[in-house]
Chains A and B, each alone.
Chain A
Amino acid sequence: MDIFNSLIDGLVLILQWKSIIYLSLGIVIGFCTGILPGLGGGTALALMLPFVFRMAPHEGIAFLLGMHAVLATTGELTSILFGIPGEPITIAMIMDGFPMAKKGEAGRAMGAALMSSLIGSFFGAFILIICIPIVRPLVLALGTPELLMVMVIGLTCIASLSGGKGKRNLVVGFLAGGIGFLFSLVGEDPQTGILRFTFGSLYLYNGIPLVPVVLGFFAIPELIDLRVRGTSIAGNIPIEGDLSKGVVQGLKDALRNFWLVIRCSTIGYGIGILPGLGGAVAQWVAYAHAAQSAKSAEERAGFGKGDVRGVIGPGSASNSKEGGGIIPTIAFGIPATPGMAVLMGGLLLMGLVPGPEMLTENLHLTFSMAWTIALSNFICVPACLLILNHLAKITTVRGSRILPILMVFVFIGAYSTNFKTGDLIVLMLSGLTGYFMVRFGLPRPPLFMGFIIGNLAEMYFGRSNAIYGSSWIYRPGVIVFALIAVGVALYPVLTDRMRKNTMGDRGGLHERN
């Protein structure tokens, strides 16, 4: 009953006219930030911090969280339209969204992305609310060994991210994943303080920075290809006045795959509540899951070439992750993304200290966060739908005109977090590497997966051993997660078997269009 009251209190706080104004303001800023590849969420939020000094907590929450919550949604649009990640948490969206844009289906892809984002954020907020009583003990029960096993599950996803049929894909996938893993080990070793692969450079002390790597690997090959084709992004495919039809189609696609949306949202939320994991993992696990959910090997091969499910999966996960990501931030003071870190700073300035009281005395404020996440997407998505047609037209602009602008944005994006020349050099080098990988058939998603979880896996492994010796293997949580990992690894094989066994009745299994 108490929880119910707080829930209503939280809603009332957000629905005050001042909160609504701040929320709308936050949404507008978040919209611009998300859509510009040059501005990262953390940077933009940090610049807004001085404005929250005089705000009441619920107003500040509406302003900052409203801004943060729409970042993932609008960043997806950039990823789809230009093949350039709008935010580091919307890269997986490129894999299928950009090929769709190239086929002239930008409207459909964006519609699907927006709808799945909307459902994902609602789902995330909903689960955040109903899980409040159990979530703190749950997070406390997850020790270092359990987190290590989550990393192992992540690594097994590489199998599904490699794609296609044939065993060689697995070889190539794990090869790429291993290279990403090696990249992630650059910098100071957290266990011994030894500087690995830094070659005496201070720049590499904390490892290879994420943003320039993301932009290099996932934007530069696309830009080069755009130049080579010499056409607009949508090629020479004529786009008539039926873009809005594409959008509606996309919205329907998301609803048609409702269970996929829910499953991916669950994945996003689950990864979101893990402290210290960072924001970029959820989208890839969800993407891998979406690819796995393909009924046949032929269907799975369509991923990466413009399957709408490849848009829906990451879209819902990266938004429901917001709901989950609130928990480690406010309950334990461990933000998942740079954006969340600034959000936490804003809360501190307004007198809200992360800790158990956020789930007890200040529960109504936590709930108002859940409401803000849902409400901001509820406002943002229809607003996006209004301008979607105009955005989609960008894909028909001549490539030679749009290309230099995109190049400049990529540079600003890589440069504007730290203003280090090294960032630009990393951008160019990873761009070159990314290009050669694409050219010679080494898939980039496994590499990126290895890159974001490699050093975490090593760190958790070192810590587990230092604390428990080798006995951590027998912890019940570890065994449960290990079984899940085996399940994830075997899932494609098992579904293949099942499919072969039921070859006769096709109708039953292939109800999807």
Chain B
Amino acid sequence: MKKLFARVLTVGYLSLLFIFCLPLFASADGFPEDGKIIRFIVPNPPGGGMDLYPRTLAPFVKNHLPWKEGEVIVENIVGAGGYTGSREIFYSKPDGYTIGIVMDQVVTLPPILGQVAYFDASKYTFFGQFNNFPSMIFTNSKSRLKSFSDLKHSKNPVTYGCDMQQIANYWMMAEKMGLNMKPILGYQGSSDSRLAVLRGEVDISTSEYSSFANYHTSGELRILFHFGKGPDKRAPEVPSMLDLGYPEEIAGINTVARTIVGPQGIPDDRAEILRKAIWAALNDPGFIAICEKSKRLEPDPKTAQEAEKSTRATAAFWLKHKDQVKATMNEFGYR
């Protein structure tokens, strides 16, 4: 008797399990379906800039999507300097339930250099951009480098604290701008190399303005120039590459672009729904208010078309200069 009871329980339990799995097989009619979850993949660990933007935006995307209920959940898929998560987004099921944020530099350069398996970043489905700011080159205020011309005419090589991901910046300065540079590799991200500049251990480092703005206003760091095309509204006195007389072709490539993308081949109708919701969320007063309060988050929303255009331009640029960058990397021993 007891055994029979137990068997009934087991069967009931297994069928419960089956029912639980059923939704996984169900097919979609409208998009987005009520009660579904949209994954917002972040290729970087929680807490950093790449993570805070989506985490702040996610609830607003949820509000602007045409559904009664559902969730937009941020998921950190970390690894290979952001490449793992970016790849995960690219190869996800293109049903519109997976989107993500990528850094243009990460998805365009390493695959071309053969550091990681190749995929074509220009084939993402684009939804927009949080911002696309040029990297800025800064030094300690006490440093011998008072301006760009000091940098340009430096007799001793200027030490540049960076990590492997910033090697594109080094290449641009050393090869395309003709500066006398020595890269000091092995810093763990831009905060670490910024600390090295504060210590006076290295001469310069690069980063996006908002990540060192307070050190700039307090007068501890001095900005020498930036990689953008025009003046940056937050630090208008800083010369851009164009101001310094470099060709337009190489300007605006070394940027920090936080692009919202989805896997290749999301059906147009679904992509359009997502695009609308994300654009509305990016311009939502609530989102802007949170960003303003934070001081660090500085959204400068770009539409899907603009994002697509700039990402493709970056990808095309690196493809064109592939061999030169590789040659530079070989100098450090990379093969």
Do A and B touch directly, given a CB cutoff of 8 Å in the complex?
yes
**Per-position 1/0 for A438-468, Cβ under 8 A of B:** 0000000000000000000001101100110
Binds A, one of B46-54, B239-247, B249-257: B46-54
Q: Is B27's CB within 8 Å of the partner chain A? A: no
Binds A, one of B4-12, B128-136, B187-195, B267-275: B187-195
How far is A350 from B289 in the complex, measured between Cα atoms in Å?
11
Q: Is A164's CB within 8 Å of the partner chain B? A: no
Q: Is B18's CB within 8 Å of the partner chain A? A: no
Closest B residue to A420 by beta carbon equals B79
How far is A341 from B83 in the complex, measured between Cα atoms in Å?
20
Q: Is A126's CB within 8 Å of the partner chain B? A: no
How far is A466 from B79 in the complex, measured between Cα atoms in Å?
27
Contact among A188, A191, A334, A346 for B195, CB-based, below 8 A:
A334
Q: Is A488's CB within 8 Å of the partner chain B? A: no
Q: Is A143's CB within 8 Å of the partner chain B? A: yes
Residues of B within 8 A of A348 (CB): 52, 294-297
Residues of A within 8 A of B59 (CB): 50
Binds A, one of B196-204, B223-231, B304-312, B314-322: B196-204
Smallest beta-carbon distance B239→chain A, Å: 25
Q: Is the CB–CB distance between B167 and A193 below 8 Å?
A: yes
Q: Is the CB–CB distance between B163 and A192 below 8 Å?
A: no
Given known A-B contacts A202-B80, A205-B83, A357 and B51 have beta carbons under 8 A apart: no
Q: Is the CB–CB distance between A53 and B56 below 8 Å?
A: yes
Residues of B within 8 A of A191 (CB): 185-186, 332-333
Q: Is the CB–CB distance between A194 and B196 below 8 Å?
A: no
Smallest beta-carbon distance B17→chain A, Å: 16
Residues of B within 8 A of A202 (CB): 79-80, 83-84, 87, 116-117
Most chain A CB neighbours (cut-off 10 Å) among B47, B163, B167, B199:
B47
How far is A189 from B333 in the complex, measured between Cα atoms in Å?
10
Residues of B within 8 A of A140 (CB): 198-199
How far is A344 from B185 in the complex, measured between Cα atoms in Å?
25
Smallest beta-carbon distance B118→chain A, Å: 12
Q: Is B276's CB within 8 Å of the partner chain A? A: no
How far is A334 from B188 in the complex, measured between Cα atoms in Å?
10
Binds A, one of B92-100, B147-155, B214-222: B214-222
Given known A-B contacts A342-B46, A345-B46, A467-B184, A144 and B329 have beta carbons under 8 A apart: no
Q: Is the CB–CB distance between B77 and A418 below 8 Å?
A: yes
How far is A460 from B182 in the complex, measured between Cα atoms in Å?
17
Q: Is the CB–CB distance between B46 and A49 below 8 Å?
A: yes
Closest A residue to B296 by beta carbon equals A348
Smallest beta-carbon distance B181→chain A, Å: 13
Interface size on B (CB < 8 Å)? 59
Q: Is the CB–CB distance between B45 and A338 below 8 Å?
A: yes
Residues of B within 8 A of A356 (CB): 214-215, 218, 220
Given known A-B contacts A194-B334, A341-B45, A419-B77, A357 and B214 have beta carbons under 8 A apart: yes
Q: Is the CB–CB distance between B184 and A357 below 8 Å?
A: no
Closest A residue to B292 by beta carbon equals A351
How far is A42 from B116 in the complex, measured between Cα atoms in Å?
27
Contact among B81, B84, B199 for A188, CB-based, below 8 A:
B81
Q: Is the CB–CB distance between B185 and A466 below 8 Å?
A: yes
Smallest beta-carbon distance B189→chain A, Å: 8
Residues of A within 8 A of B334 (CB): 192-194
Smallest beta-carbon distance B145→chain A, Å: 16
Interface size on A (CB < 8 Å)? 53
Residues of A within 8 A of B220 (CB): 356
Residues of B within 8 A of A345 (CB): 46-48, 51-52, 55
Question: Which of chain A's residues 185-235 have a Cβ closer than 8 Å to chain B?
Answer: 188, 190-195, 202-203, 205-206
**Per-position 1/0 for A161-205, Cβ under 8 A of B:** 000000000000000000000000000101111110000001101
Given known A-B contacts A193-B334, A206-B80, A338-B45, A332 and B51 have beta carbons under 8 A apart: no
Q: Is B115's CB within 8 Å of the partner chain A? A: yes
Residues of A within 8 A of B48 (CB): 341, 345
Q: Is the CB–CB distance between B186 and A462 below 8 Å?
A: yes
Q: Is B164's CB within 8 Å of the partner chain A? A: yes
Closest A residue to B198 by beta carbon equals A140
Residues of B within 8 A of A49 (CB): 46, 52, 55
Given known A-B contacts A190-B164, A356-B218, A463-B187, A144 and B84 have beta carbons under 8 A apart: no
Residues of A within 8 A of B79 (CB): 202-203, 205-206, 418, 420
Residues of A within 8 A of B84 (CB): 202-203, 205
Residues of A within 8 A of B184 (CB): 463, 466-467
Q: Is the CB–CB distance between A355 and B185 below 8 Å?
A: no
Contact among A45, A194, A334, A466 for B192, CB-based, below 8 A:
A334
Q: Is the CB–CB distance between A205 and B80 below 8 Å?
A: yes
Residues of B within 8 A of A205 (CB): 79-81, 83-84, 116
Q: Is the CB–CB distance between A338 and B46 below 8 Å?
A: yes
Closest A residue to B75 by beta carbon equals A419
Q: Is the CB–CB distance between A190 and B56 below 8 Å?
A: no
How far is A140 from B198 in the complex, measured between Cα atoms in Å?
7
Give 8 A-B contacts (CB < 8 Å), ordered by A residue: A45-B46, A144-B201, A190-B185, A203-B79, A206-B80, A333-B211, A341-B45, A341-B47
Question: A46-B47, A341-B46 known; 19 other A-B pairs, CB under 8 Å?
Answer: A42-B45, A42-B47, A43-B46, A45-B46, A143-B199, A144-B196, A188-B164, A192-B333, A202-B84, A202-B117, A205-B80, A338-B47, A348-B294, A355-B218, A356-B214, A418-B76, A463-B185, A463-B186, A466-B184
Task: Give the A-binding residues of B (Cβ under 8 A).
Answer: 45-48, 51-52, 55-56, 58-59, 74, 76-81, 83-84, 87, 115-117, 159, 163-164, 167, 182, 184-188, 191-192, 194-196, 198-199, 201-202, 211, 213-215, 218, 220, 290, 293-297, 329, 332-335
Task: Give the B-binding residues of A (Cβ under 8 A).
Answer: 42-43, 45-46, 49-50, 53, 140-141, 143-144, 188, 190-195, 202-203, 205-206, 275-276, 332-335, 338, 341-346, 348-351, 353, 355-357, 417-420, 459-460, 462-463, 466-467
Q: Which 4 A-B pairs have CB atoms at the shortest separation, nearest pair first?
A: A341-B47, A46-B46, A345-B47, A205-B80
